[in-house]
Structure 1
Amino acid sequence: MDMATTIAPTRAPTKRRVRAVLSWLHLWTGLTVGLAFALVSLAGTVLVFHVDLLKLQHPQLAQHEPVADGRVLDALIARWAPEGMRSLDLPRAELPVWQAYFEDGHRQYFAPEDGTLLLYRSHHDDVLLFLHEWHVELLGGKAGKEMLGIFGWISLALILIGLYLWWPRRGRMLSQLKMHAGPPVRRWLTWHRTIGVVLLPLLLLTTFTGVGMVYSRGFQKVLVATFGGKNVKEPELPASSTPIDWTNAIAHAGTALPDARLARVSVPDPDEGVVGFRAQANGEWHPVGRSTVSLSRDGRVVQAFDATSHRLGMRMSQAFYPLHIGAVGGTTMKWITAFTGLLPAFLLVTGFLFWRRRRGR
């Protein structure tokens, strides 16, 4: 007997068994974990337009000039730092108010002219922040974030298994991409697999970058070890009680990186020696920027770092967040990212309908 004829019959049943197991995993994982994946992704679709929806919901936030007044900043820190304020986004064209972040997760918004409190938000009373907490940690804090990471890995496996199950024989690529109107079993199957395969790159991008953010430290270590780069540590200065002239600090920080936009300031502890700013340099994708400026309390610049000078590995790790939220590529990419967030729900529904029809229900 020919060797090929003895091996081929053995391989065929093995391949069928593997496909049957993977098909079962794809179905039941999709109908269980896929539900959480779909709900998280739907929240992400809304959050792509977080700032736009926030201004639509609270138009008073957009009725200001984006001016970062050091005297107002000084008053805000003196008033709210004792109550847990840890950092503030400086007024900018997109959101021309001070946006303050607090230790317990709530946010407050202040007028740039005089520091008047305009809005208080937390995930308990604000739909957008509720969706944000669900999207980043399943409303469960650190444990929820870990669970989200596990769901993310499972979702990546689910996507790749689906690609394997779809992969056609040679010469049948176009027929495998055809979508049918009926009968129902064929309709839901072809819609599910064709849309999934055609838009697979977008789905993989958003899922992989989401997992990358959950495990950012691990991904960063691997990328830096492979492609180079390193973290830039904030300089250490002796503790000091010297009052900070915030007008002077903003001016000096702005000239330290003249082509960058100052985006965020960290609220220093009462005796902390370093005053830290985040900035967005030209060419940076991150909406807040990863460039940094560090000053002493008397306004002396002790370190200024342009994040665009990072080596490839660090730049890759810092690209996860802007790619995930659609901050790269302007309005078009924003809408594409939002649309991608709808795909898991579409795949869940079409997969479920295919399963029901196949069972004759």
Structure 2
Amino acid sequence: MKNRTLLKYHSIFGILGGAFLLVLGITGSILIFNENIDSAIFKKYEVEKTGSARNIDKAVETIQKHYPNWDTRLIKFKAGQTLIFNLRSPEARKYVFVHPDSGDIIKEIDANSHITKWILKLHYSLHAGVVGRFLILFAGIAFLFSIITGTILYRKVFWKTLLFKTKLKWDNKKNRYSGLHRYVGVWALFLNSIIVVSGVFLAYKVASAGLKPASKAVTPIINTSTELLLTKAQHEYPDFTPTYVRLPTSEKSNMVLYGIFKNDPFYYSEFYNKLEADINTGQIVKATKISEASVGTKLESMITPLHFGQYGGWPIKFLYALIGLSGPFLSVTGFIIWLKRK
């Protein structure tokens, strides 16, 4: 394929996905720090130090009394700190903060209006429902093809650009933006490819889920101790660290502890390890380990951590945020180059 034809397709894919890329890049760079943002906002609902006190059973009882038939997840349960529940229904989502000792509700907030959740929804659906989800999927595919055509187009100068052996020309705007576009595109290529491929996969799952009708949970009353279940899990699986508790959503489902096994690679998602317990006996009836899963499942478990940079500390987060902003930069410079060429 001739370079002129490649450039034509590269421009088309860039223009098709460009407007969406501005939103995706900026929101994605913010979402890299979503846990840090949430921690800072939720700090005002934190109780004064209560030692090692933690009464999850009383908190679960309170939640089930005040919020029957909500899909209930306990997302923070560190001893001596405020317990945080994430509640979901087909129409709404809530964060509920509960005192770790008394089990009293401290605060309830609308999760859909919470800043990080609002940005996340903008990121994956543009707040436009199912149509927005498919537009994001379309934009991701367009950006992926833009990366592929751009890589082929600049293949002869790739290594020279990577090693700063090609000079930037500042004599006119077209050459100036073209040089910057090439340098940023080449230097961000590897991580952008990971973000885009994983993003297309996630967008497909989100778009597909949007076609299915939402079901309302019918949450049974828990007849066993969640606190004892956590103790039992620690005893029976000492290499397992629970990070997330999901209450059953029907009479036939189990309580589930999600978490991390000690020897798991850092790039696996915590939601692919789980211990399931009977809500009447408290016995652990099933253990699922990502280390024992199929290759396909292992690859799937890597998608979210790789897309949002959840596998590293601050250096990785800042790198992801910087690369995330490269998308909007490439979109704007690419559009300017296209206009100058026209």
TM-score > 0.5 by shorter chain: yes
Could you say which residue in structure 2 is the equivalent of 1:230? none
> Residue 244 of structure 1: which of 220, 224, 227 is its match?
224
Superposed CA offset, 1:197-229 (max 9, x none): 121001101001111223459xxxxxxxxxxxx
Residues 166 and 258 (structure 1), Cα distance of their counterparts in 2 relative to 1, 3 Å cut: same
* Residues 181, 333 of structure 2: 8 Å contact kept: yes
* Residues 96, 107 of structure 2: 8 Å contact kept: yes
**Does 2:175 correspond to 1:186?**
yes
Could you say which residue in structure 2 is the equivalent of 1:355? 338
User: Matched residues in 1 for 2:171 and 2:221: separation?
Assistant: 75
User: Matched residues in 1 for 2:95 and 2:44: separation?
Assistant: 13
Superposed CA offset, 1:290-310 (max 9, x none): 211111121111112332333
| TM-score relative to the length of structure 2 | 0.81
Superposed CA offset, 1:57-81 (max 9, x none): 3431455668653323322442244
> Residue 327 of structure 2: which of 322, 344, 354 is its match?
344
One-letter amino acid matched to 1:313:
G
Could you say which residue in structure 2 is the equivalent of 1:201? 190
One-letter amino acid matched to 2:22:
A
Could you say which residue in structure 2 is the equivalent of 1:165? 153
Could you say which residue in structure 2 is the equivalent of 1:133? 121
* Residues 286, 327 of structure 1: 8 Å contact kept: no
User: Matched residues in 1 for 2:16 and 2:137: separation?
Assistant: 16
* Residues 274, 287 of structure 2: 8 Å contact kept: yes
Could you say which residue in structure 2 is the equivalent of 1:24? 8
Residues 177 and 257 (structure 1), Cα distance of their counterparts in 2 relative to 1, 3 Å cut: farther
Q: Which has the larger Rg?
A: 1
* Residues 64, 221 of structure 2: 8 Å contact kept: no
Q: What SS does the aligned partner of 2:258 have?
A: strand
> Residue 72 of structure 1: which of 47, 58, 81 is its match?
58
User: Matched residues in 2 for 1:128 and 1:137: separation?
Assistant: 14
* Residues 44, 338 of structure 1: 8 Å contact kept: yes
One-letter amino acid matched to 2:272:
R
User: Matched residues in 1 for 2:118 and 2:11: separation?
Assistant: 30
Could you say which residue in structure 2 is the equivalent of 1:221? none
Deviation at 1:132, TM superposition (A): 0.5
User: Matched residues in 2 for 1:146 and 1:291: separation?
Assistant: 30
Residues 172 and 316 (structure 1), Cα distance of their counterparts in 2 relative to 1, 3 Å cut: closer
**Does 2:238 correspond to 1:254?**
no
> Residue 110 of structure 1: which of 77, 82, 97 is its match?
97
One-letter amino acid matched to 2:285:
V
User: Matched residues in 2 for 1:256 and 1:185: separation?
Assistant: 65
One-letter amino acid matched to 1:200:
L
Could you say which residue in structure 1 is the equivalent of 2:244? 264
User: Matched residues in 1 for 2:158 and 2:237: separation?
Assistant: 56
Could you say which residue in structure 1 is the equivalent of 2:290? 307
User: Matched residues in 2 for 1:92 and 1:177: separation?
Assistant: 53
User: CA RMSD for the aligned pairs?
Assistant: 3.1
Superposed CA offset, 1:59-107 (max 9, x none): 31455668653323322442244152332213249x9631313123523
Residues 318 and 270 (structure 1), Cα distance of their counterparts in 2 relative to 1, 3 Å cut: closer
Choose between structure 1 and 2 for higher RCO, CA contacts under 8 A separated by at least 6 residues: 2
User: Matched residues in 1 for 2:5 and 2:253: separation?
Assistant: 60
| TM-score relative to the length of structure 1 | 0.77
User: Matched residues in 2 for 1:170 and 1:348: separation?
Assistant: 19
> Residue 144 of structure 2: which of 135, 138, 156 is its match?
156
> Residue 291 of structure 1: which of 254, 258, 273 is its match?
273
Could you say which residue in structure 2 is the equivalent of 1:60? 44
Aligned residues: 320
* Residues 269, 304 of structure 2: 8 Å contact kept: no
Could you say which residue in structure 2 is the equivalent of 1:331? 314
User: Matched residues in 2 for 1:43 and 1:325: separation?
Assistant: 11
**Structure 1 vs Structure 2: percent identity of aligned residues?**
19
Could you say which residue in structure 1 is the equivalent of 2:216? none
